[in-house]
């Protein structure tokens, strides 16, 4: 197994990156990692291209050992709806800025849970490319009012028609505004 772990110092900031991409990690390894790595200053965690699956996503989602996490990269990890739901329910990631979950098995259930997240107030980038998200999940994500700093939302290569979802969202917003008047 090839594991690349690095710690970076930037000025006085004790920022830390843990990159364990392209390995042979499974959910069992993630459980050990969560238990044995209480880095309160961990800012970046990259477990991409490891088959951690839903169970790994569930373990990461309930982890409270990384309160300063800013970037979580879980591309191509086999995470589906259950793992995404647990990640979305994380109560400790107030500082998360980037969440990458591309090339997984997340469908509408996981996307709706992500869209309902109210903790990620600093989120600037969300990548859900190449999942199984349809219109309902995309609408829930697009309707999130907490992510006021979001600059990049990637939903391409899912089962949705982008223009159809956008039109529906605009219609819903128009309805909501007219009902509140």
CATH of the domain at 67: 3.80.10.10
Show the tokens assigned to 29: 């390894």
Tell me if 121 is assigned to some domain.
Answer: yes
pLDDT tens digits for range 3-49: 444 444 343 344 589 999 998 999 999 999 888 777 788 999 999 99
What is the pLDDT confidence band of residue 100, given thresholds at 50, 70 and 90? very high
Tell me if 25 is assigned to some domain.
Answer: yes
Tell me if 156 is assigned to some domain.
Answer: yes
Res 172: pLDDT = 59
Res 65: pLDDT = 86
pLDDT tens digits for range 120-146: 999 999 999 999 999 999 999 999 999
Res 162: pLDDT = 59
pLDDT tens digits for range 57-66: 999 999 988 8
Total of domains in the chain: 1
Res 35: pLDDT = 86
The 3-state DSSP class for residue 113 equals: helix
pLDDT at 119 over 50: yes
Average pLDDT, the chain: 86
Tell me if 136 is assigned to some domain.
Answer: yes
Between 165 and 65, the higher pLDDT residue:
65
Tell me if 2 is assigned to some domain.
Answer: no
Can you say whether residue 138 is alpha, beta or left, with left for phi > 0 and alpha for psi between -120 and 50 degrees?
Answer: alpha
Res 2: pLDDT = 39
pTM of the model: 0.84
Tell me if 123 is assigned to some domain.
Answer: yes
Tell me if 5 is assigned to some domain.
Answer: no
Range of the domain at 126: 16-180
Tell me if 8 is assigned to some domain.
Answer: no
- Residue 78 phi, psi dihedral angles, 5° rounding: 80, 15
Residue 180, C-beta contacts closer than 8 angstroms, at least 6 positions apart = none
């Amino acid at each position: 197994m090839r594991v690349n772990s690095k710690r970076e110092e930037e000025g006085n900031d004790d920022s830390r990156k843990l990159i364990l991409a392209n390995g042979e990690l499974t959910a069992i390894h993630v459980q050990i990692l969560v238990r044995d790595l209480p880095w309160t200053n961990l800012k970046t965690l990259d477990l991409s291209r490891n088959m951690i699956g839903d169970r790994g996503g569930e373990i990461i989602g309930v982890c409270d050992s990384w309160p300063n996490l800013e970037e979580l990269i879980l591309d191509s990890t086999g995470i589906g709806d259950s793992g995404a739901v647990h990640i979305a329910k994380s109560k400790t990631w107030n500082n998360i800025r980037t969440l990458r979950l591309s090339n997984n098995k997340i469908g509408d259930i996981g996307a709706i849970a992500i869209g309902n997240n109210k903790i990620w107030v600093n989120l600037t980038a969300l990548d859900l490319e190449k999942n199984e998200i349809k219109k309902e999940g995309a609408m829930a994500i697009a309707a999130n009012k907490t992510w006021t700093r979001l600059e990049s939302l990637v939903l391409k290569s899912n089962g949705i028609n982008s223009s159809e979802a956008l039109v529906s969202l605009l219609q819903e917003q128009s309805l909501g505004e007219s009902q509140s008047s």
